[in-house]
Amino acid sequence: MKIGFIGCGNMGSAMISGILKKGIFQKDEIIVSNLTEEGSKRSREKLGVVTTLDNRQVVKNAKTIILAVKPQFYQEVIEEVRADLTPEHMVIGIAPGKSLDWIQEICQTSLKVARLMPNTPAQVGEGMTGVCRNELVTDDDLEQVLKITDSFGKTQVVPERLMDAVGAVSGCSPAYVFIFIEAMADAAVAQGMPRKQAYQFAAQSVLGSARMVLETGMHPGELKDMVCSPAGTTIEGVRTLEKAGFRSAVFEALQACADKGKKM
C-alpha cells in the first residue's frame, strides 16, 4: 500500500478520485478508513480502494498518511494510531487550524509532518492546494507530496502562516462560488430559462471567466471593463452589485473564514 487516508468523506474521496484518474496510485495501493460500515461501503463502491474500520491498519499498511477526518476528531484519531507511527511515516493534515507543531505534539514523536489545504474541485482534477511542511520532510518527500496534489489540480508551496488565507481563498471558496452560480441560475429561471439550462450558462460563464484570469494574466478589473459597454447592460448590474455591497460581502466572508481557521 502506498498511501492511507484516515477518513474518506467529501474531501478524501475528492482527492482519491483525482489520484485514480491520473493513475498516480492504483486502487489497491490506497487504503482508507471510515468510522462506519456505511462509509466503508461508500468508499469501496465509489472508489474501489481498500477499506478498513481500523485506523491502525491504515498506519500499518501505508507510510504516507492523510488525516481526512473533521478537525474535532484529529486528536482522538492521532492518539489511536500514534503507537504505530515510525520515522518513515509522513503524517499529512488537511484541516484548518491544526498546525504542524500541534500535529507533531499530539503524535508525541519527532515525525515528518506536512499540511495540505485542498478543495473539492480536486474531484474533477481542478483542485487548488496549498502545501507546507516541517523540517523533517525532505525535498524528495515534498516532491512525492506534490506529485499527489498535482494529480488532482494545481499546487503551491506556501509558508505555514498563509494556510488560513489559503483555506479562505481556495479551501472554502468553492462553496461561495456554488452559491453565486445558484443565484445567477435562479435569476435566469426568473427570466424564463429552464433550470438545467440556467446552470449550464451560469457555470460555464464562471469557468470561462476563471480561465481568462489564469490564461491572459490580465488584471480582473481590466477583464471586467472589457464586458461593460458604455451605457450598456453590464454596467447597470455592476452598479447594483456595488450598491448591495458585493465586494465587501466577499471580503468579509473570506475574512470570517480565515479568522475561524486561526481559532480552530
Ligand X SMILES: O=C(O)[C@@H]1CCC=N1
Written as one string, the DSSP assignment of 88-124 is T-EEEE-STT--HHHHHHHHTS--EEEEEE--GGGGG
CB 258 within 8 Å of CB 167 = yes
CB of 143 to ligand NDP, least distance (A): 22
Find the shortest distance in angstroms from Cβ 238 to ligand X: 29
Which residue number is nearest to ligand X in terms of Cβ? 171
Q: Which residue, judged by CB position, is nearest to ligand NDP in the bound state? A: 9
Most distant CA pair in the chain: distance in Å? 69
Which residues pair with residue 90 across a beta bridge?
64, 112
Q: Does 91 bind ligand NDP (CB under 6 A)?
A: no
Stretch (H or E) spanning 175: helix 173-190
Check binding of 10 to ligand NDP (CB under 6 A).
yes
Cβ of residue 119: shortest distance to ligand X, in angstroms? 7
Taking CB under 6 A as the criterion, the residue among 17, 20, 24, 39 binding ligand NDP is: 39
Least separation in angstroms between residue 65's CB and ligand NDP is 12
**Interacting residue with ligand X among 92, 172, 185, 202 (CB under 6 A):** 172
The one among 70, 195, 211, 262 contacting ligand NDP by CB under 6 A: 70
Pick from 64, 57, 122: nearest CA to 88: 64
Q: Please, what is the minimum distance in Å from the beta carbon of residue 155 to ligand NDP?
A: 13
Alpha carbon dihedral 256, 261, 263, 264, in 10-degree steps, equals: 140
36 binds ligand NDP, rule: CB under 6 A:
yes
How far is 108 from 104, CA to CA, in rounded Å? 6
Give the interface size with ligand X as a residue count (CB under 6 A).
Answer: 4
Told to check if 153 binds ligand NDP by CB under 6 A, we report: no
CA distances from 44 to 39, 49, 51, 93 (A): 9, 6, 7, 23
CB under 5 to 8 A by kind: which of ligand NDP, ligand X, none does 123 bind?
none
Q: Count the Cβ atoms, other than its own, within 10 Å of residue 147.
A: 14
The verdict on 33 binding ligand NDP (CB under 6 A) reads yes
Nearest approach, Cβ of 103 to ligand X (angstroms)? 16
**What region, left, alpha or beta, does residue 30 occupy, with left being phi > 0 and alpha being psi -120 to 50 degrees?**
beta
Sites of contact with ligand X (CB under 6 A): 96, 167, 171-172
